Amino acid sequence: NFETMGVVTYQHVFSSKALGALRGMVRDTSNDLTSNPQSIPVMAFQHNNFREGYFNGSLSVQRGRHDWKFGIESDSMFLHENFNYVITDASQFDEDTPSTFSFGGHRPDLEQSAYVQDLIRMGNWTISAGLRWDHYQLLVNQNAVSPRLSVARFFPSHGLVIHASYDRIFQTPESEN
């Protein structure tokens, strides 16, 4: 198994109320699995590897009681998978189970997203609202919109904050699985 990774980040202060950030990453990962020759009831062999490129850009702006954040992300992964097995003790399996199996494939995993959110402070109230769009393309090609909203109220006489929130998220499966 090995992993090699490089990361680059850059931030720029446009003013006391505006900050931009860029981040990029590239990594190569490889995994191998080899059963030993005495493996029972199956000898399995696997080799997978992928190269991933990630980019994120964001802009944060404070204006009055609003803290805005805008951003985009892109994650591209190029997967290569090889797996095979040999059954060494057929008595442990149904009789229609193949004694050998082999799979090999490669495919790109392409993901993009964009988001906007606002944090609003009004006295003892804090409201946060955001919207995120995601596109995922590996085994399926899907788009999703994820809203979020939270409201908090501070009661200084009691040292108490009451918070309520709603989030809907779109989560992609791990490509390593």
The percentage of residues in the chain with a pLDDT greater than 90, rounded to a whole number, is 82
Q: What are 65-80's pLDDT values in tens digits?
A: 999 999 999 999 999 9
Record the tokens describing residue 114, joined without a space.
Answer: 């964009």
Exposure string of 55-81, with b = 16+ CB inside 10 Å and e = fewer, is: bbbbebbeeeeebebebebbbbbbbeb
Ordered mean pLDDT values, 10 residues apiece, the chain (177 residues): 92 98 95 89 92 96 97 94 93 92 92 97 97 92 95 97 95 71
Rounded to whole angstroms, the maximal C-alpha distance in the chain is: 74
* The Cα angle at residue 129 between residues 63 and 170, in degrees rounded to 5: 135
Instruction: Check residue 175 and give its pLDDT.
Output: 67
Instruction: Check residue 70 and give its pLDDT.
Output: 98
Instruction: Check residue 16 and give its pLDDT.
Output: 96
